[in-house]
Amino acid sequence: MKGVRSLLKTTAIRLSLIYASIFGLLAVAIIFYMTGSTIKIFEAQIETSINAEVLELEQVFIAGGVNRLVVEMERRSRGPGANLYIVTNPAGVIIAGNVANIQSGVLDQVGWTGKPFQYSKFNNTQSNKYLAIARVVEISNGMHFLIGRDISQSETFGKVVKRALIFSLVAMVVLGLATWFFVGRRALKRIDMVSKSTNRILAGDRSERLPLSGGGDEFDRLSSGMNDMLDQINHLDKGLKQVSDNIAHDLKTPITRLRNKAETALTGKMTAANGRKALASVVEECDILIKTFDALLMIARVESGSTTAKFTRLNLSKILVDIVELYEPLAEESVLDFKTDIAVDIMVSGNRELLSQAMANLIDNAMKYSTKKKGEQTSIQISLQRNSKGALISVSDNGPGIPEDKRDHVMKRFTRLEKSRTRPGNGLGLSLVKAVVQLHKGTIVLGDNQPGLVVTMSFPTI
Amino acid sequence: MKILIVEDDADAASFLVKALGESGHTSDHAADGETGYHLAESGSYDVMIVDRMLPELDGLSMLKKIRANDDQTPALILSALGQVDDRVEGLRSGGDDYLTKPYAFSELLARVEILSRRKVSDDASTSLKVADLELDRLSHKVTRAQTAILLQPREYRLLEYLMQNAEKVVTRTMLLEKVWDYHFDPQTNVIDVHISRLRAKIDKDFDVQLLHTIRGSGYMLRAENG
């Protein structure tokens, strides 16, 4: 019983029931209309033929009086499928015709009998009643004659039509209900399976997936779409977990350092100079932490794409030239040489601040890792070219480079290949570059400069 | 200098009042936007320091209201929101400068002092002069003791900014913002190298040094030593 109740609750069944009732009402209306109009057509035919006969018989009466009329009626009433004929005297007593008995009152009114009336025939037992409609005509000497027609035939026909229609309607309803029941139960079963799976997923089983029937129907399409969504959520979830693990780990290190510095100052000999020195280094550590947080927030914001709305048309060449100009004096100071090959007026759609920072990070990295040899000019190559795909930027150095298997890894947050971590940096530089490139719908590839690293980025131009 | 601080965090506000006091500035404190607005209306301040997120009336709305009364008191907006879009929004609402939290006090002080000067002269003069160093903003010519000094375009803009703000501390971040129009921190101190190049051009052949490094803060262009 519970199954039936839940079946009744399904949308499919409810809609079906609504449609079925509307359909049923319409069908009943059609039955009434059809039987009604069938009878009307019959009656109209009868009226026409009776009117014609009345005219003929009136002619007969005018020509030959009552006797000829009675003779003619007797003749006609003997024919096969004859109409009803009655002639009465002025007192209303039947004097001729083929009707044994007639419903009282019918003969009193001249003209068409409004409703069908009952009568009985001679050759049958008198109790057998038949239905007919008729026209009563008064002739000059106060006598009446009636011409009528049995309508039992048309009534029967109407009944047959009605019965056929009712039968087909009932059959349709029964078949429909059976189909709905079957389809609804199938749908319900599939939905039950899906909701069981989602319950397991909700309960924490992340590997659970929605069942597929393999038929490729709309349920399968929906389920496989949801499965893809679950895969993506799992993937993101894993990424998030890894990132938060990294963050926790990498922020713990500077915070521990901060704590150690403060503790050393507290336990050591407290002089004004010592205290000042310790506080200064504590502030310095705090600044580093703040910078790391800022960088993390920035990456998160860029990755979430919340700055996309502020894209404008930009001259990428000018952005790169400006950044090179910013770093060139510093490079020269550290005996580095910038070799630039920047094509002019390459336009992209983007955010100047973010693109500038990405370029700055790359140049900063290149300078940090360049290997300086005595008596030799070390150079960093920076180029911007237009190719078939768009704008191509490359920044290359002659440093230690990045082994091929680590190249994807270094673009993740907090990855630093140097174990000793002697060079300054927080391991977030390349992560931001990657996020910025992706925000600008570009690509980034790390390659081998033999020796050194070459970072190649491409951006769509406008 | 008389400063209005509109900041809802009591600790941050009392730190500011104390630190500004030690630097020789008196300040009034309002803990919400409405009070801040009324104080700004009644008192005459040299600079306002406005936190962006405030109860009652947020910082930007308060500034808009103040600016609608034709009050042009320079305002420094303090905010935890530090993206370029946030800055643009802050400056459009009537802020004159924007500083992201957490900040170094030296940075805030330098910016406040530069803002207060801006109220007096509006950078419109066609020539700037510090001791015997002169900069002609029409011809873009720079001379020191009548000797012409050739500068790169960026060096010119750097010097122009330092001269506009002569006698005031100018931080590295401020230079990066105003001269290069970058709002990120380029990690390595690229600005120092630009300054030392400029210094080589304007100070090297002269006895009196004009461009000074202020330890822990930034730089200052000034006529006298000490």
Mean pLDDT of chain A: 83
Calculate what percentage of chain B has a pLDDT beyond 90.
57
Maximum average pLDDT range among A184-193, A315-324, B49-58: A315-324
d(CA B133, CA B211): 11
Q: Where in chain A is the domain with CATH 3.30.565.10?
A: 309-459
pLDDT, one tens digit per residue, over A93-148 is: 787 778 877 877 777 778 887 777 888 777 655 567 778 888 888 887 778 888 88
Q: Does the structure show a pLDDT above 60 at B28?
A: yes
Q: Where in chain A is the domain with CATH 3.30.450.20?
A: 10-156
Q: Alpha carbon A163 to chain centroid distance?
A: 44
Structurally, at CATH architecture level, domain A10-156 sits in 2-Layer Sandwich (3.30)
Q: What are phi and psi of B129, to 5 degrees?
A: -145, 125
What are the structure tokens assigned to A173, written together?
């309803």
Q: What residues does each domain of chain B span?
A: 2-120, 127-221
pLDDT, one tens digit per residue, over A357-405 is: 999 999 998 988 887 776 677 889 999 999 888 999 999 988 888 888 8
* Tokens 């630093």 belong to residue: A416
B22 touches chain A (CB under 8 A): no
Q: List Cα–Cα distances, A333 to A328, A330, A362, A368, A372, in angstroms.
A: 9, 5, 18, 13, 12
d(CA A379, CA A336): 6
- Give the predicted TM-score (pTM) of the model: 0.65
Q: Does the structure show a pLDDT above 50 at B186?
A: yes
Residue B209 DSSP class: -
Q: Where in chain A is the domain with CATH 1.10.287?
A: 212-304
Q: What are phi and psi of B187, to 5 degrees?
A: 60, -75
Asked whether A137 and A144 are in contact (CB, 8 A), the reply is yes
Please give the biggest Cα pair distance in chain A: 157
Query: What is the predicted pLDDT for the residue at A375?
Result: 67
Task: Provide the pLDDT confidence category of residue A43 given band limits of 50, 70 and 90.
Answer: confident
Q: Give the DSSP H/E element, type plus range, for residue A375.
A: none
Q: Give the DSSP H/E element, type plus range, for residue A35.
A: helix A11-78
Calculate what percentage of chain A has a pLDDT beyond 90.
14
What are the structure tokens assigned to A228, written together?
């893809």
Query: What is the predicted pLDDT for the residue at B121?
Result: 52
Query: What is the predicted pLDDT for the residue at A125?
Result: 57
What are the structure tokens assigned to A444, written together?
């980034």
Of A211 and B18, the one with more pLDDT:
B18
In B, which residues are within 8 Å of A294 by CB distance? 82, 185
Q: List Cα–Cα distances, A176 to A4, A9, A165, A188, in angstroms.
A: 16, 18, 16, 17
Q: Alpha carbon B38 to chain centroid distance?
A: 25
* Tokens 């301040």 belong to residue: B45
Query: What is the predicted pLDDT for the residue at B13?
Result: 93
Overall size of chain A counted in residues = 462
Q: Least CA distance to B188: which residue of chain A?
A: A364
Interface test with A, best of B188, B191, B196 (most A CBs within 10 A): B188
Q: Do A353 and B104 touch (CB under 8 A)?
A: no
In B, which residues are within 8 Å of A357 by CB distance? 182, 184
Least confident of A261-270, A408-417, B159-168: A408-417
Q: Please check whether the domain covering B127-221 is classified as CATH 1.20.140.70.
A: no
**Closest CB from B85, B182, B190 relative to A307:** B85
Task: Provide the pLDDT confidence category of residue B43 given band limits of 50, 70 and 90.
Answer: confident
Q: Least CA distance to A362: which residue of chain B?
A: B186
Class of domain B2-120: alpha beta
Query: What is the predicted pLDDT for the residue at A3?
Result: 62
Calculate what percentage of chain B has a pLDDT beyond 70.
96
Task: Provide the pLDDT confidence category of residue A201 given band limits of 50, 70 and 90.
Answer: confident
B10 touches chain A (CB under 8 A): no
Query: What is the predicted pLDDT for the residue at A87?
Result: 83
ipTM of model over 0.90: no
d(CA A240, CA A60): 110
Q: H helices then E strands: how many in chain B?
A: 8, 12
- Provide the CATH topology of domain A309-459: Heat Shock Protein 90 (3.30.565)
The residue-averaged pLDDT of A324-350 equals 90
Query: What is the predicted pLDDT for the residue at A427?
Result: 79
Task: Provide the pLDDT confidence category of residue B226 given band limits of 50, 70 and 90.
Answer: very low
CATH of domain A212-304: 1.10.287
Interface test with B, best of A299, A334, A353, A362 (most B CBs within 10 A): A353
In A, which residues are within 8 Å of B186 by CB distance? 326-327, 360, 364
